[in-house]
Amino acid sequence: MRRPTVRTLSLVAVTATALTVGAAAPPPQSSAITPPAKSPVAVGYGGAVASVDPDASAAGIEVLRRGGNAVDAAVATAAALGVTEPYSAGIGGGGYFVHYDAKTRTVRTIDGRETAPLSADASLFLGADGTPLPFAEAMTSGLSVGTPGTPATWKTALDAWGTKPLRDLLKPAERLARDGFTVDATFRAQTAANEARFRDFPASAELFLPGGRLPEVGSTFKNPDLARTYEKLGRHGTGALYRGDLARDIVRTVQDPPVREGAQRTVRAGDLAERDLARYETVWRKPTKMSYRGLDVYGMAPSSSGGTTVGEALNILERTDLSSLSKAQYLHRFIEASRVAFADRGRWVGDPAFEDVPVRGLLSQRFADARACLIRDDAVLTSPLAPGDPRDPDPEPCAAGGTAAPTTYEGENTTHLTASDKWGNVVAYTLTLESTGGSGITVPGRGFLLNNELTDFSFAPANPAVHDPNLPGPGKRPRSSMSPTVVLDGHARPVLALGSPGGATIITTVLQTLTGVVDRDLPLVEAIAAPRASQRNQTTTELEPALYGSPVRAELEALGHRFRENPEIGAATGIQRLPDGRWLAAAEKTRRGGGSAMVVRPAS
């Protein structure tokens, strides 16, 4: 069956949403305390922003209205998310930035992942007896804090493509932090989930539990310390976080975590040093690229596993006409392709500065075909599935060529934003602290949480018989699943850009959303809203409630699938360029309380 052309895909999206016109940003000087209207879809001109939060999306739109481009808007949106989504992202974390340049029709990517201290080695998370530390103990500690990459990512992106000074781009976020934003149910719930941790750190308790209590829904939440920190970065540049008094405050907090007197929690000190911050650099990465249904899909190369794993799974699915399958058949193929790709991810992907990652082999159609032949329509593969060898793929006898290893844990709280501008530039940017609330430790007087990204390393080899590419090392970047993705047509023009939070479920969320649009003809907002499944080379596949309670589950169980329920998987955002030049921005309808899609000038 011939797949729809890019133009057809775009028109399907518009028709199915009945030309829904979403929210525009409020006037630039509107009150920060009254949140902008929240809509999951917006169509219009002049550029678009989609994020999980309406205040953050409005900050990006404000920049676009003042003549900024997509990169400027992305930085402003990310800074605002550091205020309103402080448990998901902020200047104490890191991320990956994917940029499409409309003038050159090229995609470039920035690796802003956190790095381990130079003192780190493979025993970073091993106790004195040589056994791995309990995850909860490692998570809430200075030991888990890597050198933040987010401020350096902003500088790299703005130096390359930005048109506005950082101080101007931080103004909306600075205003939000100073004047406050309205607490919603998601913010309160995430605070409640962290309450015990926050109470053990006086700076965290003072900020996030004002008056010693959880913030009430509808109340105004202010962060004057972060407003001052943003003002400092605006005046002195992002280098102020990596050198000087702010850097010293970060190091002091990591090396001697400020725990309240009488706390029963074991809080280990970290070894992050001033030299680690001073030497931090982002890395330009060649994006991953593969062809799918005539479209070019660009993603993030290692240290992230997002681009290679999404790409391999798409290559596996390329040989199947997903549009002609029933829902159960489609999900079966999707689940099995994910299972195989994760088996290969676990064996081969790590920081390329330390590991020989066979990116070309992982993205080759020949390797995908050798792995796809494992998949049957009437049976289910067994996890953990052994990896193949992309350096020497052999389609016969369709047997895995390695030793199976389980998928290691990866924190699920992150955030993603997408932005575009009137010139046609596009940004897909995923940023994170790792766990919800990161390490739980706020830098005193500075207003931001520190990450716990180093827990994304394997604490010990997943399988002692197999080399683990994700063990800690000096200055090493832990493997990530962040998958900011940009899709171009055959003329190198943007079709889609998308991404999601969710730890390792990011990969399956992006994969399911992409195939939902391209293969299942879903409008972008409906592909984002569709109930999700996530298989990551584990014995059971996670299903959201709408799938777990549906007849499709029984059809899949009859094939041999096993499931467990996950109340919520991911929180994606995306944008789409329509044939008439309009932008369609899309976000979640309900996950995390619903996302926020905005355009500069809504279509009438």
Active site (catalytic) residues: 414
Chain centroid, CA 321 distance in Å = 29
Cis peptide bond N-terminal to 35, omega within 30: no
Rounded to the nearest 5°, which phi and psi values hold at 516? Answer: -60, -40
- Largest distance between two CA atoms of the chain: 68
CA distance 263 to 290: 51
Antiparallel, parallel or unpaired: β 583-587 and 573-577 = antiparallel
Q: Which long-range contacts (CB under 8 A, 24 or more apart) does 32-38 make?
A: 32/175, 32/176, 32/179, 32/180, 32/181, 33/179, 33/180, 33/181, 33/182, 33/220, 34/182, 35/181, 35/182, 35/184, 36/596, 36/598, 38/594, 38/595, 38/596
Cβ proximity of 386 and 401 under 8 Å = yes
Tokens for 525, please give them.
Answer: 């907002």
Tokens for 126, please give them.
Answer: 């091993």
Across 481-587, the runs of DSSP E, i.e. the strands, are 485-488, 494-499, 533-534, 541-543, 563-565, 573-577, 583-587
CA distance 52 to 236: 29
Identify which of 454, 372, 367, 458 has the alpha carbon closest to the alpha carbon of residue 407: 458
Element (H, E) at 198: helix 185-199
CA distance 20 to 54: 18
Tokens for 51, please give them.
Answer: 């994020």
CA distance 58 to 43: 15
Identify which of 602, 604, 597 has the alpha carbon closest to the alpha carbon of residue 49: 597
CA distance 565 to 546: 10
